[in-house]
Structure 1
Amino acid sequence: MGDLTDDIERCLADCACDGPTAERARCSCEEGRVRETKRVLLDERRRLLEELHASQRGIDAIDHLLARVASEM
């Protein structure tokens, strides 16, 4: 699983995944523990989606304020 382990490490580094989580994914992949590897990746995906949704709410709020400012000027 060498290439897959490298890809997982690279992907999680690109996602700004914390060190212990990335290490857990790497170890479980190297040891062939597919369920654990998938669990770590799915948890990280969930974290990223939560960040994305929070950012989207901020963007929506700013867009709303921009529209209000534009209509009052």
Structure 2
Amino acid sequence: MGELTTDIERCLSDCACDVATADRARCCCEAGRVRETKRVLLDERARLVEKMRASQRGIDAIDHLLARVSSEMPAQRGERP
């Protein structure tokens, strides 16, 4: 499982996974515990998806406010739309 373990460690490091979770995934992989390894990876994926959705909600809120500012505030001289 050497190369797979290394790839799992690299992937989890790249996505800013906490050390304890990365260690758990590595240990499960090295021990050949497929279901547990997959569970750790799926849980980390869910965490990243939630983080992405939270960021998207923030972007959507800012876009909404930008549209409101453009329509509700009087234009000032020299300002770009």
Structure with more of its chain in helix, by fraction: 1
Separation in 2, partners of 1:47, 1:32? 24
Does residue 53 of the first structure (1) align with residue 79 of the second (2)? no
Moved over 3 A (4+): none
Task: Give the Å deviation of 1:30.
Answer: 0.5
Separation in 1, partners of 2:52, 2:66? 21
Give the counterpart letter for 1:6 in structure 2.
T
- Name the TM-score, length of structure 1 as normaliser: 0.98
Task: Give the Å deviation of 1:32.
Answer: 0.4
Separation in 2, partners of 1:37, 1:57? 31
Matching residue of 1:19: 19
Larger-Rg structure: 2
Relative contact order higher in (CA < 8 Å, ≥ 6 apart): 1
Instruction: Write out per-residue CA displacement over residues 2-27 of structure 1, whole angstroms, 9 at most, x where no aligned residue.
Output: 00000000000001000000000000
* Count of aligned pairs: 73
Task: Give the Å deviation of 1:47.
Answer: 0.3
**RMSD across aligned positions (CA):** 0.6
Q: Gaps (5+ residues) in structure 1?
A: none
Q: Gaps (5+ residues) in structure 2?
A: 75-81
**Identity within the alignment, %:** 79
**Structure 2 residue matching 1:17: 3-state secondary structure:** coil
Matching residue of 1:28: 28
